[in-house]
Amino acid sequence: MNDFKFRQNRLYCEDTPVEEIAGAVGTPFYLYSFRTLTRHFQVFDEAFADVPHLVCYAVKANSNIALLGIFARAGGGADIVSGGELYRALKAGVPPAKIVYSGVGKRIDEIEYALREGILMFNVESPQELELIDETAARMGKRTGIALRVNPDVDPETHPHISTGLKENKFGIDVSRSLEAYRRAKRLSSLDIMGVSCHIGSQVTKTSPFVEALERIRRLIVLLREEGIAIRYLDLGGGLGITYDRETPPHPTEYARALLEASREIDCTFILEPGRVIVGNAGILVTRVLYTKETEDKRFLIVDAGMNDLVRPSLYQAYHEIRPVVDEDREERVYDVVGPICESGDYLAKGRSLPDQKRGELLAVMSAGAYGFAMASNYNSRPRVPEVLVRGGEYSVIRKRERYEDLISGETIPERLIAG
């Protein structure tokens, strides 16, 4: 459910016409609904109301500090995977004690930063990382909380690029080796073993892979407690999917019910790391038709948004519904909706039936709130687009459109090296 609705054939975000915003800020731009963001977070949080829990929003999905601030004010924490995400979370008001640091490749300077700030815990992904965090904490006179990210070897039945819980994936410590890794951690004096972490993938649309992974983690927790290793937190990661096309993912209450049923004997505080399920359907990408073009085989809509703005269709062959911002009764035509980037893979949709479109008309790329701007780039030296937040009948630009000057910020011409 989201707050992008048509009124008299015109698309609104809450109580604000999308074409009004387009006229003011130009295109392309990302547009988010405050009402949808807050409702999605609240529904997810309330689904786990019967157990001790902490919702740590997955910053990677959409890292704009305005959105992070919304979730922080709702009581949420943050799941981070870099020093930059830690910086964003802190600037947005997320308490360090509600931050968990995941990710397979933490640099030493990032570890030091997190130790200085006093985050809740690191989700450790390898024995070498475990040793480095202990050594760094000892050198800094710190003691820090850790969980080991355990790879349960469970197929999440999602796109292979976003599957993270199989033995062949780079993430986590194999479940068969995890007990020995915990024994090793117990011997390290600057580490406080706080929990077990598990994340099997993204855009998962069934509860069964989550339950299967949890069953394997539950058995590990029993073994750990038998060895005197107290487990206080169970970090179940994120990954719950949304509807882009015809998917029927479980509602957060169904998801919570399945997990809690499978973990009845586990006396832990649960950490959840939702990302896409919170922000995915809370945002759209608004773009304008630059040209229409026909060949013997195809009709193209060439728009001003490209794969540098929204890479998911090109990278994952992902489906996004596309709607005219002004939905008039016209003859339907089949189009490839493509961008201006010099790549044949630069497209937003292929073979899509839409009302006949003309130059200058606006299109909305739906369900673009997650892994949209967060994965945007300056490819082809294109300035990144603005982000806009709507609340009721008001809107605010929460990230300005980049200028050409921004493209070369930090670059220099070393005359003494290139002269002559």
For the chain, give every domain's residue range.
4-31+280-407, 103-272
Which of the 8 DSSP states describes residue 211?
Answer: H
Spatial separation of the C-alpha atoms in residues 377 and 279, rounded to whole Å: 20
Spatial separation of the C-alpha atoms in residues 322 and 353, rounded to whole Å: 9
The secondary element (H helix, E strand) that includes residue 194 is: strand 191-197
178-186 and 208-226 are packed helices; what angle lies between their axes, rounded to 10 degrees? Answer: 40
| Residue of 357, 362, 370 lying closest to 286 (CA atoms) | 362
Can you read off the two tokens belonging to residue 82? 């870099």
Average pLDDT per run of 10 along the chain, which is 420 residues long?
Answer: 93 98 98 98 97 97 98 98 98 98 96 98 94 98 95 59 47 79 94 91 80 86 91 91 91 92 88 96 98 95 98 96 96 97 96 97 98 98 98 98 98 90
Classify domain 103-272 by CATH number: 3.20.20.10
Which pLDDT belongs to residue 156?
A: 52
- Candidates 13, 198, 268, 342; catalytic one: 342
Quote the pTM value.
Answer: 0.94
Whether 342 is catalytic: yes
Which pLDDT belongs to residue 40?
A: 98
Which pLDDT belongs to residue 204?
A: 79
Which pLDDT belongs to residue 211?
A: 85
Contact 243, 250 (CB under 8 A): no
Spatial separation of the C-alpha atoms in residues 381 and 374, rounded to whole Å: 17
Classify domain 4-31+280-407 by CATH number: 2.40.37.10
Spatial separation of the C-alpha atoms in residues 86 and 77, rounded to whole Å: 11
